[in-house]
Amino acid sequence: MRPQSTMLVNRLTVLIRIALGLVFLYSGFGKIADPNGFAVIVTNYRLLPQTLVWGTALLLPWIEATCGLALLCGRFEKGAALLVSLMMVVFIAVILYNGYRGLNIACGCFSLAAREPSSITLSTMRNLIILVAGLWILVVSENKRFALAN
Tens of pLDDT, residue by residue over 81-119, are 999 999 999 999 999 998 898 877 777 777 666 566 677
Rounded to two decimals, the pTM is 0.84
How far from chain centre, in Å, is Cα 54?
20
At 1, is the pLDDT very low, low, confident or very high (cuts 50, 70, 90)? low
Where do the structural domains in the chain lie, given as residue ranges? 3-143
User: What pLDDT does 6 receive?
Assistant: 81
Instruction: Say which residues have a Cβ less than 8 Å from residue 44's Cβ, sequence separation at least 6.
Output: 103, 105, 106, 114
Q: How far does the chain reach from its first CA to its final CA, in angstroms? A: 13
Per-residue pLDDT at 19 exceeds 70: yes
User: What pLDDT does 105 receive?
Assistant: 77
